[in-house]
Chain A
Amino acid sequence: MSSIKDKEKQTKPAVSRRGFLGGASVGGGLLATSLAVQEADAQAAGKLSGLGEVAITLNINGKPTNLAVEPRVTLLDALRHKLDLTGAKRVCDRGTCGACTIMVNGKTVYGCSVLAIDAVGKQIATIESLGGPGKLHPVSAAFVKHDAQQCGYCTPGFVMAAKAFLDKNPNPTREQVQKGLSGNICRCGTYVGMREAVLEASRSMRNA
Chain B
Amino acid sequence: MPEYSWPPMNKRAVMGKSFDRLDGPQKASGRAKYSSDLNKPGQLFGVFLHSPHAHAKVKSIDISAAKAMEGVTAVRIIAGPGAELQWAGAEVAIVSAVREEIAKDAIRAIKVDYEILPHVVQEQDLSKVGSRAKAAGEQVTGDPDKAFKEAAAVIDGQYGCPVITHCCLEPHGNVVQWTGGTVNLWPSTQAVSSIGGDLAKQLEIPATDVKVQMDHVGGGFGSKFPSDRWGSEGAKLSKESGGRPVKVYLDRSNELTIGGVRPSAFAKIKVGANADGKIIAWQSESWASGGVGGGGMPPIPYVMTKIENFRLNHTAVSLNAGPARAWRAPNHPQASFLTCSALEDLAAKLNMDPWDLFHKNVEMSARPEVYRKQLVKAAELMDWKKKWHPRGAETGNIRRGVGLGMATWGGAGHASKCKVSINADGTIEVEIGSQDIGTGTRTCITQVAAETFGLPMSAVRVKLGDNAFPASGPSGGSTTIGGVSSSTRKAAVNALEKLFERVSPGLGVPADQLEAVDNKIQQKGNPAKGLTWKQACQKLGVDRISEMGENVPAQAAKEGLNTLGAAGIQMAEVEVDVETGIVRMRKMVAVQDCGLVVNPKTAASQVYGACIMSICSGLMEERVMDRVTGHVLNDDMEFYKLAGMGDIGEIVVHMDITPENDKRGIIGLGEPCAIGGLAAIANAAANALGVRVPMVPLTPDRVLAALSSDRRNA
Contact = CB atoms under 8 A, between A and B. Distances in A.
Do A and B originate from a single complex? yes
Interface of A: 1, 48-51, 70, 72-73, 77, 80-81, 84, 86-94, 96-97, 99, 126-128, 130-134, 136-137, 139-141, 143-145, 147-156, 159, 177-179, 181-182, 184-195
B27 A155 contact: yes
Contact of B612 (A49, A91, A145, A191): A191
A71 B30 CA distance: 26
Nearest to A86: B37
Interface string B184-225: 000000000000000000000000000000001111110000
Nearest to A194: B645
A51 B101 CA distance: 10
A177 B32 CA distance: 25
Given A143-B24, A159-B28, A188-B609, 11 more contacts: A86-B37, A93-B252, A94-B636, A94-B637, A144-B21, A151-B220, A153-B218, A184-B644, A185-B644, A187-B167, A190-B608
Interface in B1-57: 20-21, 23-34, 36-37, 39
A92 B20 contact: no
B25 A152 contact: no
A177 B646 CA distance: 9
B697 to A, nearest CB: 16
B438 A127 contact: no
Contact of B605 (A50, A153, A187, A193): A193
Contacts of B71: 49-51
B637 A185 contact: yes
Contacts of A130: 29-30
Interface string B595-616: 0000001101110111111001
A121 to B, nearest CB: 23
A89 B29 contact: no
B96 interface: no
A96 B645 contact: no
A71 B105 CA distance: 14
Among B25, B39, B70: residue with most chain A CB under 10 A? B25
A150 B439 contact: yes
Given A178-B646, A182-B645, A140 B217 contact: no
Nearest to A88: B30
B613 A189 contact: yes
Nearest to A139: B28
Nearest to B71: A51
Contacts of B608: 189-190, 192-193
B99 A70 contact: yes
A152 B645 contact: no
A153 B188 CA distance: 12
B642 A147 contact: no
B437 interface: yes
A151 B29 CA distance: 14
Among A148, A186, A191: residue with most chain B CB under 10 A? A191
B169 A151 contact: yes
Contacts of B170: 89, 91, 151, 153
18 contacts: A51-B70, A86-B30, A92-B636, A92-B637, A96-B637, A126-B30, A128-B30, A133-B31, A144-B24, A147-B605, A149-B21, A149-B27, A150-B605, A151-B218, A152-B27, A159-B30, A178-B645, A189-B611
Nearest to B33: A86
Contacts of A81: 39, 99-100
A190 B605 contact: yes
Given A92-B252, A153-B34, A153-B219, A187 B648 contact: no
A207 B227 CA distance: 50
Contacts of B34: 86, 89, 153
B83 interface: no
Contact of B216 (A48, A80, A151): A151
Contacts of A179: 646
A139 B217 CA distance: 22
Q: How large is the interface on B (under 10, 10 to 19, 20 to 34, 35 or more residues)?
A: 35 or more
A91 B26 CA distance: 19
A80 B613 contact: no
B168 interface: yes
Given A50-B70, A97-B637, A147-B605, A140 B613 contact: no
B169 A153 contact: yes
Nearest to A95: B638
B69 interface: yes
Contacts of B216: 151-152
B251 A93 contact: yes
B106 interface: yes
A140 B636 CA distance: 28
B549 to A, nearest CB: 27
Contacts of B24: 143-144, 147, 149
Contacts of B324: none
B645 A181 contact: yes
A167 B282 CA distance: 59
B651 interface: yes
A16 B70 CA distance: 24
A151 to B, nearest CB: 4
A190 B609 contact: yes
B328 to A, nearest CB: 11
A181 B479 CA distance: 34
A48 B613 CA distance: 42
Contacts of B281: none
Contacts of A51: 70-71
Contacts of A149: 21, 24, 27-28, 438
B501 to A, nearest CB: 38
Contacts of B36: 89-90
Contacts of B612: 189-192
Given A70-B101, A94-B638, A147-B602, A133 B169 contact: no
A201 B638 CA distance: 29
A88 B170 CA distance: 12
B74 to A, nearest CB: 15
Interface in B88-103: 99-102
Given A86-B37, A190-B605, A182 B106 contact: no
B168 A187 contact: yes
The 5 closest A-B pairs by CB, nearest first: A87-B30, A189-B612, A153-B218, A152-B27, A189-B609
Nearest to A1: B638
A133 B644 contact: no
B636 A156 contact: no
Nearest to B437: A151
A198 to B, nearest CB: 9
Among A127, A151, A184: residue with most chain B CB under 10 A? A151
A199 to B, nearest CB: 12
A127 B169 CA distance: 18
A192 to B, nearest CB: 5
A145 B252 CA distance: 31
Contacts of A192: 608, 612, 648, 651
Contacts of B602: 147
Interface in B102-146: 102, 105-106, 108-109
Among B34, B609, B636: residue with most chain A CB under 10 A? B609
Contact of A133 (B25, B171, B252, B637): B25
A179 B345 CA distance: 36
A171 to B, nearest CB: 18
A127 B616 CA distance: 28
A97 B167 CA distance: 12
B611 A49 contact: no
B98 to A, nearest CB: 8
